[in-house]
Amino acid sequence: MKYSLRFLPIIALMSLLVTVSSAQEKNAVEFYGGYQFHNISTGLGEINDKIGEDIFDNRVTAHGVNLSLTGNLTKYIGLKFDYSSTGRAVLPDNESTDLKLRINQYLGGVQIKNNEKDGPRFKPFAHVLAGAANERLRCTQGCDIKLPTPTEGSTSPTTFSESTTSFAMVFGGGLDVKVHPRIDIRVIQLDYNPIFYGGIEAFEIPNRTQNNFRIGFGIVIH
């Protein structure tokens, strides 16, 4: 028994070395930056009946950026922070009106991916994220369109800006391709992006669930 106890420090040291060695086999941190295409269920079509004109679409497409930072806990599981910003002119065919929609999302969650340093060339991944989405509707020109106005007693505001922050989620994944020991190309990322929209009272846009979709590609650095 006493001879066995003599080997305990050696066994403990070997276990520590194995743990450190295993930890070094994975990429500890991953940064992603890329383009994002956003298909958005705006809810602006609700205004058409109120103004008596069919000028707003219930679904529009926007463009922007997607950035994320992931700290890998194991070879396959990482904690992820995800930021995206997309926007577009809501009435692009109306040159006299500058009405824009922008959505900024701040999300966090879990990513599942092969994070081994000497891992395969093709790396599929999946993630589940949740957080906040801030949606801003802003007009800086030609704002006397027949919108319900947030300015009490005014029928033709010169400018207005209204926003709401809502709970948002992302369910999706994609495929990364290794082109260098420290660089991957994200060839595709596909996400379902529901936003539990809080509405904008001033414009009489009701609470609802936006069934949005995100598509992106870019570069991953380890």
Domains located in the chain, CATH noted: 27-221 (2.40.160.20)
Residue 28 makes CB contacts below 8 A (sequence gap 6+) with 71, 72
Q: What is the pLDDT of residue 208?
A: 81
**Of the candidates 78, 57, 69, 64, which has an alpha carbon nearest to the alpha carbon of residue 36?**
64
Considering only 13-17, 39-43, 122-126, which range has the smallest mean pLDDT? Answer: 13-17
Point out which residues pair with 185 in neighbouring strands: 177, 219
| pLDDT of 151 higher than 60 | no
Q: Tens of pLDDT along 8-29?
A: 555 554 554 445 444 458 899 9
Q: What is the pLDDT of residue 53?
A: 55
- What mean pLDDT do residues 163-180 have? 94
